[in-house]
Structures are given as C-alpha cells and as structure tokens.
Amino acid sequence: MTSEETPLLIGVDAVDVDHEAIYNRFSRRRKWMIVAITALIATLPFWSSGSFVPLIPQIAKDLHSTGPVVGLSVSLSMFANALGSLMWASYSGFYGRRPVLLLSMFIAVWGSFGSGVATSVAQLLVWRVVQAFGASSGHSVGIAVIADIYKMEERGGASGAFFGAVLFGMALAPTVSGFSAHYWDWRMTQYQIGGAASLAFILTAIFQPETSHPGTRGIDRQINSEGRPKWVWLNPLTNLALLRSPNVLLVSVAQGLIVLTDFMLLIPIAYTFGVKYGITNEAIIGAMCIPVGLGNVIGSSWSGPYSDRLLISLRKRRKGIWIGEDRLRATYLGGGLLAPMSILVSGLMTQFWKGNGSFIPNMLCLVINGIGVAIVFNPANAYLIDILHDRSAEVTAANMATRNLIVALAVGLFLPSLEKFGVAIAFSGVAAVAWLGYGLIILVIVHGERMRKWMDLGFSTQKSN
C-alpha cells in the first residue's frame, strides 16, 4: 500500500521536474482567472437552492400550494444535484473538464428558464430537477480543476478562495431573489439563474482551458490505443465506491452534518426570524442571509491558507514526513465550537428573548455560523483531494452526494419539526447533530492512518500531489 507518511523532500530542486512543470503550465494570473470562472459555475447549485429561501410563501400562494410542498423542490434539487455531480465527475475524468462544464451549463440554462415559466407545482419540481442536474458540475468538477492546477502546498489557499466565493453566493442568493420577488415576482429569480448560467457558458467557452493533466484523460488513452475516439458510457454510481474507505465516508458524513447548521438557519428563515421580528418583505428576509455569507468569506479566507501553513509546519516538525490528516486539525475551532454553538444560541434567543432586542445578536450568530462552517468545509475538502489526488473529481462528487443526501433528507423534515417542536428544540437538535459530525472528524484525525489500511484505494503520495 502507498503510505501517507512518505518522506517529503523540501525544496524545488528535490522535486521531480515533470511534476513541477505540470503545475507551472499556467501563470498565476491565468490560474486565478480559471478559479474565478469555475467558482461562478460552482455558485449555481447553491444559488438554485438558496434563491428559494425567501420565496416559498410567495410561490406557494401563486401556485395554490403550501410551504412544505413547495419546500420539496429544495430537497428534490439537492437529490438531483447529488446525482449530477456524480455523473459530471465521471465524464470529466474521461473527456476532460472543459466539455463537461459547457454541457452542464447548457442544461442549467434550459432548466432555469423552464422553472421560470412553470404554471404548477409539478412542472416547477420537474424543471427544478433539470436545473439542479445541470448546475451540479461546478462543485465536483470545479474542485478537480483546482487540483489540476495547484500543488498540495497551495491547494488550501486556492480552495479557500473558491469556496469563499461559492458559499458567499449561497448566502447572497436569497437577497437578490428576495429583492426580485418583492419588486417583480419569484419567476424573475429563475431567469436570473438562467442568465448567470449563460454567462458561465460563454466565459468557459472563451477563456477556460482544459486543465486535466496531459495524457490522463480516458479519451487520450483511447486515442492512443485505438487511433480514434468513440463514445463511452460511464456509470456515475461507481464513484460511490470511494465511500468504502472509512476516511472518505466519515469526512463526507461529518461535513453533511455540520453544514446542516447553515441550511437550517437559512432555508426556514421566513418562518423563524421573519415571524419573530414581523418581517414579510421578501427583500429584507433575503438580506438577513447576508451575514452567513460574510462569515463564509471570513472563514474561507482564513482556513484555507491556515490549513496549508499547518500542513507544512507539521511536516517540517516531523522532518519531512507527511501525514494527510494534519490538514483536518485546522477544523477544530469551526466544528467543535462556532458552527454548533451559533445555531444553538440562535434558537434559544429566537424563542425565549421577548421583543426585537435579539435581532442584532441573531445576525451575529449567522456571521459566526458562516465562519464555523467554512472553517470545516475548506480543509475537509482539501484533505480528500490530498489523499486521492488522481481521483479528485470522483471523490469530491462522492463527498458532495453524501452531503446533499443528508441535507435533502433534513430539509424535508425540518419545516414540519419547526411547527411541531418550536425553534429552540429544532435548532438544538441540529446543533447536537453537528457535534456528532465533528466527532467523526476527530475520529479520522486520530485513527485516519490505521483506517486507510482497512481499504486501499490507491492513496496519493507526495509525487502524485
């Protein structure tokens, strides 16, 4: 088995020249342009789900339905997002990143405008699934693009910038959609998503190069062996086989349980903070999601580079020996304290603090929650890429599918639980689940090396990173 404790040679002269050349194909400026375009694409699935946060009451009224029924579109879009991410990851490994991103954006445009013209809940659900399926490439393929162009020691900072933009987009989406719904109607938000997907398609077509490492695509090997390319059908569910590794499974489940704090604060915000403070204006309800986005940006900008520095520092302390789980140590503050405590305190204040005096403290809880989730999100994603670099898109897709499945199931149950148990108990339950999730990360930090020996997936070495 390939060991994660392979001694690392410090210094450029000691590193294989070809390995360096692969990551020096693009200038620093070109890399940041690639990250920016890919981050725009990766915001779309979050924009798709987040745009519904302040709109559920209006959509339910317009389509003669109820909030929980319309809320199903969020759950269904999360399921479609999970399936789509698995498929796009498989095909990006065979045909390359760029063609997959272009095709997926075309489908996202189609689904978005279809959602905008829906005249029934059934039509809306179908088109939302198409929209989410198309938009789902941004995360799994996007993080693979980052793995293609950045070395391990730079990956945390790049992924921090990437996820900072993505998570901020998730929080900004309710603000823009709320403003549009208040001054126009909810359909405008779907046209906006379609417009963003169209812009992403154009930018990818003009400026985005193919980032896959030379000769690593399946189609490259096919051409070399058979002389001409032919279509190959791939089974996207094979990516889920990576979950056989306890390291991948536990980190993916942990992320899903911790990111629930973000979603459970944002998705029902019209029924929690909106009701608490007597706010019915969709634009204002959407604007209340901005603090989470600000927290995401702060947490991402700090946790990504910090996880890089921590990885390098601990490696030097061990005289060049790399242990992959070192990066996960950067998640202590976010997973153990900030994410669960913020939603716990928010729930107690919302239910038991009379009057409007808790508004500013609640907004502060949203900022803190955004910071905490980002502190866990970025190092955990970079960790999975570090240990399975050659399958970065596939492991990201498996991770995303697991996380989305958890969120989709939880969203479907959460609104009814709010009505039955109240904000304090519902939010406390989410906090407890987040602490459980962080316990899984601690388990990986302590026993990760031993667990990798249980299931050898061909873990990465320094040379392959």
Looking at residue 93, its amino acid is G
pLDDT (0 to 100) of residue 210: 93
pLDDT (0 to 100) of residue 71: 65
Q: How confident is the model at residue 168 (pLDDT cuts 50, 70, 90)?
A: confident
Retrieve residue 138's tokens. 């941004």
Q: Is the pLDDT of residue 54 over 70?
A: no
The structural domain count of the chain equals: 1
Nearest CA to 245 out of 3, 442, 449, 5 is that of 449
For residue 178, being part of any structural domain is answered with: yes
Average pLDDT over residues 141-155: 86
Residue whose token pair is 């190069």: 209
pLDDT by residue (tens digit) across 393-444? 788 888 888 887 888 778 767 777 777 888 899 999 999 999 999 999 999 9
For residue 124, being part of any structural domain is answered with: yes
pLDDT (0 to 100) of residue 348: 94
Q: How confident is the model at residue 2 (pLDDT cuts 50, 70, 90)?
A: very low
Nearest CA to 197 out of 51, 301, 56 is that of 51
**How far apart are alpha carbons 411 and 75 in whole angstroms?**
6
Q: Where are the alpha helices (DSSP H) in 3-96?
A: 17-23, 28-50, 56-62, 67-95
Q: How many CB atoms lie within 10 A of CB 261?
A: 29
Looking at the chain, the number of H-run helices and the number of E-run strands are 19, 0
Average pLDDT over residues 276-281: 85
Query: Residue 329: exposed, middle, or buried by beta-carbon count in 10 A (0-12, 13-18, 19+)?
Result: middle
SS3 category, 321: strand
> Which DSSP category does 1 fall into?
-
Average pLDDT over residues 300-321: 87
pLDDT (0 to 100) of residue 97: 92
Q: How confident is the model at residue 111 (pLDDT cuts 50, 70, 90)?
A: very high
Please report how many Cα atoms fall inside a 13 Å half-sphere around the Cα of residue 9, on the Cβ side.
8
For residue 390, being part of any structural domain is answered with: yes
Q: Which range in 67-71, 338-342, 379-383 is most confidently predicted, on average pLDDT? A: 338-342
Q: Is the pLDDT of residue 13 over 80?
A: no
pLDDT (0 to 100) of residue 366: 94
| Longest CA span, the chain | 74
For residue 404, being part of any structural domain is answered with: yes
Q: What CATH number corresponds to the domain at position 426?
A: 1.20.1250.20
Rounded to 5 degrees, φ, ψ at 233 are -85, 130
- Residues 92, 411, 140: CA angle, nearest 5 degrees: 10
Mean per-residue pLDDT over the chain, rounded = 83
Rounded to 5 degrees, φ, ψ at 232 are -125, 130
pLDDT (0 to 100) of residue 19: 63
CB 411 within 8 A of CB 74: yes
Query: For residue 333, how far is the Cα from the chain centroid?
Result: 20
- Residues 407, 335, 331: CA angle, nearest 5 degrees: 115
Residue whose token pair is 């955990």: 380
CB 69 within 8 A of CB 121: yes
For residue 464, being part of any structural domain is answered with: no
For residue 13, being part of any structural domain is answered with: no
Q: How many CB atoms lie within 10 A of CB 198?
A: 16
Residue whose token pair is 């293609």: 148
Retrieve residue 454's tokens. 């249980």
**How far apart are alpha carbons 158 and 208 in whole angstroms?**
17
> Which DSSP category does 208 fall into?
P
For residue 55, being part of any structural domain is answered with: yes
pLDDT (0 to 100) of residue 387: 87
Nearest CA to 242 out of 233, 251, 232 is that of 251
pLDDT by residue (tens digit) across 182-241? 677 778 888 888 999 999 999 999 999 999 888 778 787 777 666 677 777 888 888 888
CB 304 within 8 A of CB 156: yes
Q: How confident is the model at residue 4 (pLDDT cuts 50, 70, 90)?
A: very low
Q: How confident is the model at residue 16 (pLDDT cuts 50, 70, 90)?
A: very low
For residue 6, being part of any structural domain is answered with: no
Residue whose token pair is 């706010």: 279
Supply the angle between the helices 339-352 and 359-387 in degrees, to the nearest 10: 160
Q: How far is CA 230 from CA 92, 186, 219, in A?
A: 15, 43, 8
406: domain range?
29-208+238-452
Q: How many CB atoms lie within 10 A of CB 342?
A: 29
Q: Which range in 45-54, 123-132, 388-397 is most confidently predicted, on average pLDDT? A: 123-132
pLDDT (0 to 100) of residue 6: 34
pLDDT (0 to 100) of residue 67: 65
pLDDT (0 to 100) of residue 462: 57
CB 286 within 8 A of CB 426: no
Q: Which range in 140-154, 159-173, 342-356, 415-429 is most confidently predicted, on average pLDDT? A: 342-356
- Residues 100, 106, 109: CA angle, nearest 5 degrees: 140
What residues does 321 pair with on adjacent strands?
A: 7
pLDDT (0 to 100) of residue 171: 66
pLDDT (0 to 100) of residue 1: 35
